[in-house]
Amino acid sequence: MSEVAAEMGSTEAAEGRDAGLGANEAPEASQDAQQITDAAESYRDGIKDPKARAFFDRYSTIDAAANALLEKEQMLSKRVAMPGEDASEEDMARFRKVMGVPDSVEGYDVTAMKPADYTDEQWQGEAMQSVLSPVLSAAHAAGVNQSGLKAVVDAYFGVSAAASAEQQRQDAAWLDAAEEQLRKDWGSDYKANMAAAEQAVQSVPGITDLVLKDGSQLGNNPLFIRIAADLGRLRGSDNKTVHQFLSAEQGQDLRATHAELTRKMYDAQQAGNRDEAKKYGEQRRRVSEQINGTKSIRG
């Protein structure tokens, strides 16, 4: 029994020593943590500015704060300051170089700006270069680099393509409306009258592409197509009455009168003066009958 008791006493004593050792270590660790906290607070004690204090409060040690400031300093040193109004030419040249602005207009890579839907021939053609040349000059004078200029060119041609697509859609709508009206008015004579109109406009290349105030093309205007049909028939081989009943001089005078009345009728129509247009239209019809005998223009 005495041996058992002695052994138990020895064990308890050992446990007591272990427990005592742990208890002694805990205060030491707590003291170290407190010392770190005190040190962190002490380096901020002299900071009076609220904003500076708020900055240093984000860092637990002065080393961490110093490293953060060093990183910021390195980052700022890599930035390029915008030259002021009194900057020298050397400063401006240095700044433009850092920003990637070429030394001259010829330094831009114009080929890299070509839209996908343009061929090399179109892009390098005289017409396109006449458009790009002032843009490149203005961009270089303003200090625009390659990427900035390409962004501007891409935006321009994007807007231009959208406007062109919308114009084509509108032109098709105007043409459909004109065809519907003329088919209704001319009936079975539609094809013959359109052929006569086509014959007339062929003598004036590009006239149908002229753009009116409302944005429509002249070739899609019903009134113009009517006039063209009349002129086409006057010039056609089936109008032999001019030679049968009128001298060459008389026929020429009547054609001139007819053309003048046509112009006046068209001008009045464009101005929205229906009464004037109707008056000139009636006079023009009578002249047409004189030229063609009793046979007026179909439709």
Q: Residue 86, SS3? A: coil
Structure tokens at 160: 């231009």
The two structure tokens encoding residue 165: 């697509």
Confidence class for position 44, pLDDT limits 50, 70, 90:
confident
* CA–CA distance, 207 with 198 (Å, rounded to integer): 11
Does 169 reside within a domain? no
Q: Give, as one character, the DSSP assignment of residue 84.
A: -
Ranges 27-36, 91-100, 127-136, 247-256: which has the least confidence: 27-36
Q: Are residues 281 and 197 in the same domain?
A: yes
Kindly tell me if the per-residue pLDDT of 168 is higher than 50.
Answer: yes
Domain count within the chain: 3
| Residue 138 CA from chain centroid, whole number | 18
d(CA 59, CA 44): 10
Among 208-217, 237-246, 270-279, the minimum mean pLDDT is found in 237-246
Among 166, 161, 156, 167, CA closest to 131: 156
Across the chain, what does the average pLDDT equal? 76
Q: Rounded to whole angstroms, how far apart are CA atoms 285 and 295? A: 10
**What are the residues whose beta carbons fall under 8 Å from the beta carbon of 224, sequence distance 6 or more?**
218, 266
pLDDT digits (tens, 9 = 90+) for 3-16: 444 444 444 544 44
Yes or no: say if 63 and 50 are a contact pair by the CB < 8 Å rule.
Answer: no
By residue range, what is the domain housing residue 266? Answer: 187-292
Amino acid at 65: A
pLDDT band for position 296 (cuts 50, 70, 90): very low
193 and 250 housed in the same domain: yes
Cβ partners under 8 Å of residue 14, min gap 6: none
Report the alpha-carbon distance of residue 230 to residue 148 in Å, rounded: 55
| Whether 258 contacts 296, CB under 8 Å | no
pLDDT in tens, 182-224: 999 889 888 888 888 888 888 777 888 888 888 888 888 888 8
**Amino acid identity for residue 113 in this structure:** M
User: Of 55, 77, 99, which residue sits at a domain end?
Assistant: 77
Say which DSSP state 46 is in.
Answer: T
Q: Give yes or no: residues 73 and 138 share one domain.
A: no
pLDDT band at 150 (very low <50, low <70, confident <90, very high): very high
Asked if residue 195 and residue 263 are part of one domain, the reply reads: yes
Coil, strand or helix: which one is 1? Answer: coil
Tokens of 26: 């805990």
Answer yes or no: do 192 and 288 share one domain.
yes
In this structure, the answer to whether residues 193 and 285 fall within a common structural domain is yes
| DSSP helix/strand/coil, 211 | strand
**Assigned domain for 164 exists:** no
Whether the CB-CB separation of 46 and 52 falls below 8 Å is answered with no
Are 70 and 95 within one domain? no
Distance separating alpha carbons of residues 34 and 52, to the nearest angstrom: 24
Measure the N-to-C terminal CA separation of the chain; round to a whole number of Å. 141
| DSSP characters over 7-43 | HHHHHHHHHHHHHHHHHHHHHHHHHHHHHHHHHHHHH
Which token pair is 279?
A: 């008056």
Same domain, 199 and 265: yes
Asked if the structure places residue 178 within a domain, the reply is no
Apex 31 CA angle, 25 and 37, nearest 5: 145
- Cβ-based neighbours of 145, under 8 Å, separated by 6 or more: 99, 100, 101, 102
d(CA 115, CA 128): 12
